[in-house]
Every structure is written in structure tokens, then in C-alpha cells.
């Protein structure tokens, strides 16, 4: 019992020393970081004239690269796939993306049915899925990285909408690309057949809706003219027509008319296999302007130059550090 009592203060002292060492280590680390940051700032200020030269050199490099590259413009279109899923439509359009990557302008011109000189002005064509984040059938964001998790039950891809990004070397080419895409869709017999089947189904639904509305009107007229009359069945047996609430007819008829109007709207607005919801804009700004090149390469040059100066002016210190 006495040995346990005598050992307890020693354990408490060891634990206290451990916490003190941890605290001192954190303190020293924090102070070391502050000293290091201050050293880097002071060093940068002292060598500011060198850094300015590096920035100018980087800006010149950026300007040279700017002048040696073509300007390109980017715009996007929101489209609706009719009679075919957005997944199939995206895969079909992205065949054009593969041609753009391979710079196969002849095949691109053939598929879009445009002159080869126009196809050369197209940098890229690529389609992406639109993601519905809360399953309200409204697109919330575009899956540009194509990393949507199909097992995610909280989100879904819109089944009939797609985002189409086009990059061109001239602003005037966007309209030509859109017309080429319509021609590209019209070349695929599978897509055309599915769209024809969809339109035939819509016509049948419209006809059925009109038939149901006519039947409902006839039933309403029958109830109106026979309201309150008794009809003999056999001998002395009689049956009275139950009076139907008038608002029931109006509600059913209104529902049928709404369905009919939706079918007619889709049939008239979505006649092609590919319907434009939001069109390209020809007022797109260049994606690679001069300032972007100058700033990017100026910053890169300054960072590389700073590291180089740090090594050159602190050789001895670096050698001592590496030896330790």
C-alpha cells in the first residue's frame, strides 16, 4: 500500500512533464512557422527588383504564347431529346467530340454537312448530363466532369435534357453549328423512327382525349334532359336516374382538356428529335484573352524566380539544414 502511494506522485510528475513538452513543442512549431513566414516576406521585399524582372519576363512569355495561339469562343445550348433518352443523345453527340479531339475536320464536316472550311473553325463539341439535385424535374447543375454516381438516390440525371458546350474560333460559327447538329440528327434513322413513333402516340392520345370529351358531353346532355324522370323497367318496377353533381362533369372535362393541350403543345413545339430550349449566344467572350496569358505566366515566372533566388542566396543555410 505504501509503495502505491509513493509511486503516484512520480506518475503525476511524468504526466505533467509530458504535457509541458507537448505544449512547448506546439509553441516552438508555431513560432517557427511565424519566423519562416516573416523571413520569406522580408527576403521577398529585399529581392523585389529581381521579382519585378521575373514578372516582366513572364508577361513577355505570356504575350508571345498569346500571339502564337488562336482565339476561341465558348457558348452552350440547353436541348431536349425527343423520343430518345438524354443518355443516348449525349453518346451520339459526343461522337463529334471524339472527332474534334482527333482534329478530324473532314469527318466532322461530313457529319454536320457543312464545308470543310467551316468545320476547321470548330474547336470542340461536347454534351453533358444535367443533374436534378432534389428530384423536382428541374436541372440544378451540369455534370461537366462526368463523375455522377448512379447509385446516389438523392439525385438523378434529367432523362430528356442535355447541356451542349461548343467552342469555336469565330463567333459567327455558332449558328452554323446548330444547323449542322439538326442535320446530324436527321441522318440517324433510329432517332428519326423513335421520334415518329412518339409523334404518332401523341396524335392517338389527342384523338382519345377528344373522344372522351365527346362522350362526357353526351353523358352530361343525357343526364340533363332525363333529370328527375322515372324510367319503367318491368311491370310496376321503376328506376330513378341519380342526379350527378354538375361540377363533376366540369372537373373531368377540364382535366381531359388540359391533357389534350399538353399533347398538342408537345406535338407542335417538339417536332424534331432535337429541340432547342436555350440557344447559343454569338456575343461570347474569348476564353483565352491576352490578359489571362500575361497574368498566368507572370505569376508562374515570379514563383519560380522566387524559389531560384531563395536557393541561390541561402546555399550555406540549406546545406547545413540538409546535413542535420
CB burial of 196-206 (b: ≥16 within 10 Å; e: otherwise) equals eebbeebeebb
Looking at per-residue pLDDT, the higher value among 213 and 283 belongs to 213
> How do residues 163-172 score in pLDDT, each as one tens digit?
999 999 998 8
Q: What is the pLDDT of residue 289?
A: 84
CA distances from 233 to 230, 238, 245 (A): 10, 6, 24
Residue 24: pLDDT band (50, 70, 90) is confident
> What is the residue whose three cell numbers read 458546350?
165
Residues of the chain with pLDDT > 70: what percent? 84
Looking at per-residue pLDDT, the higher value among 123 and 24 belongs to 123
- Residue 184 above 60 pLDDT? yes
- Residue 15 above 80 pLDDT? no
Residue 168, burial from CB neighbour count under 10 angstroms (0-12, 13-18, 19+):
buried
Mean pLDDT of the chain: 83
DSSP string for 219-265: HHHHHHHTTT-EEE-STT-EEEPPPPPHHHHHHHHHHHHHHHHHHHH
Q: What is the pLDDT of residue 176?
A: 93
Segment 230-251 mean pLDDT: 53
Q: What residue spans define the domains of the chain?
A: 2-68+289-323, 73-189, 196-272
Spatial separation of the C-alpha atoms in residues 134 and 78, rounded to whole Å: 20
> What is the residue whose three cell numbers read 505570356?
62
Beta-carbon-side half-sphere exposure of residue 120 (alpha carbons within 13 Å): 4
This model's pTM is above 0.75: no
Q: What is the pLDDT of residue 238?
A: 47
Q: Are 202 and 267 in contact (CB under 8 A)?
A: yes
DSSP string for 163-177: EEEEEESSTTHHHHH
- Residue 35 above 70 pLDDT? yes
- Residue 14 above 90 pLDDT? no
Spatial separation of the C-alpha atoms in residues 83 and 178, rounded to whole Å: 19
Segment 81-87 mean pLDDT: 89
Q: What is the pLDDT of residue 4?
A: 47
CATH 3.30.310 fits 73-189, yes or no: no
Q: Are 148 and 132 in contact (CB under 8 A)?
A: no
Instruction: Using DSSP, state whether 279 is helix, strand or coil.
Output: coil
Amino acid at each position: 500500500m505504501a509503495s502505491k502511494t509513493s509511486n503516484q506522485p512520480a506518475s503525476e510528475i511524468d504526466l505533467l512533464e509530458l504535457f509541458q513538452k507537448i505544449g512547448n513543442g506546439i509553441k516552438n512549431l508555431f513560432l517557427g512557422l511565424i519566423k519562416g513566414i516573416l523571413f520569406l516576406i522580408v527576403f521577398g521585399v529585399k529581392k523585389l527588383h529581381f521579382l519585378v524582372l521575373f514578372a516582366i519576363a513572364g508577361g513577355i512569355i505570356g504575350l508571345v504564347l498569346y500571339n502564337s495561339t488562336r482565339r476561341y469562343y465558348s457558348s452552350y445550348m440547353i436541348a431536349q431529346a425527343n423520343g430518345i433518352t438524354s443518355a443516348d443523345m449525349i453518346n451520339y453527340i459526343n461522337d463529334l467530340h471524339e472527332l474534334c479531339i482527333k482534329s478530324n475536320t473532314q469527318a466532322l464536316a461530313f457529319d454536320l454537312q457543312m464545308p470543310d472550311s467551316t468545320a476547321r473553325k470548330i474547336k470542340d463539341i461536347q454534351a453533358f448530363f444535367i443533374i436534378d439535385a432534389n428530384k423536382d424535374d428541374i436541372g440544378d447543375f451540369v455534370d461537366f466532369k462526368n463523375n455522377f454516381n448512379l447509385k446516389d438516390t438523392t439525385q438523378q440525371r434529367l432523362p430528356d435534357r442535355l447541356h451542349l458546350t461548343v467552342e469555336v474560333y469565330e463567333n459567327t460559327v455558332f449558328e452554323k453549328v446548330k444547323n449542322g447538329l439538326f442535320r446530324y440528327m436527321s441522318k440517324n434513322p433510329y432517332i428519326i423512327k423513335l421520334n415518329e413513333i412518339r409523334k404518332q402516340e401523341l396524335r392517338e392520345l389527342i384523338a382519345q382525349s377528344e373522344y372522351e370529351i365527346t362522350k362526357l358531353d353526351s353523358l352530361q346532355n343525357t343526364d340533363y334532359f332525363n333529370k328527375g324522370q322515372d324510367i319503367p323497367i318491368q311491370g310496376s318496377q321503376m328506376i330513378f336516374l341519380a342526379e350527378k353533381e354538375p361540377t363533376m362533369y366540369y372537373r373531368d372535362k377540364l382535366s381531359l382538356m388540359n391533357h389534350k393541350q399538353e399533347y398538342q403543345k408537345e406535338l407542335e413545339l417538339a417536332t424534331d428529335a432535337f429541340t432547342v430550349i436555350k440557344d447559343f449566344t454569338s456575343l461570347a467572350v474569348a476564353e483565352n484573352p491576352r490578359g489571362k496569358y500575361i497574368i498566368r505566366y507572370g505569376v508562374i515566372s515570379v514563383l519560380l524566380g522566387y524559389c531560384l533566388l531563395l536557393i541561390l542566396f541561402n546555399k550555406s543555410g540549406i546545406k547545413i539544414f540538409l546535413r542535420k
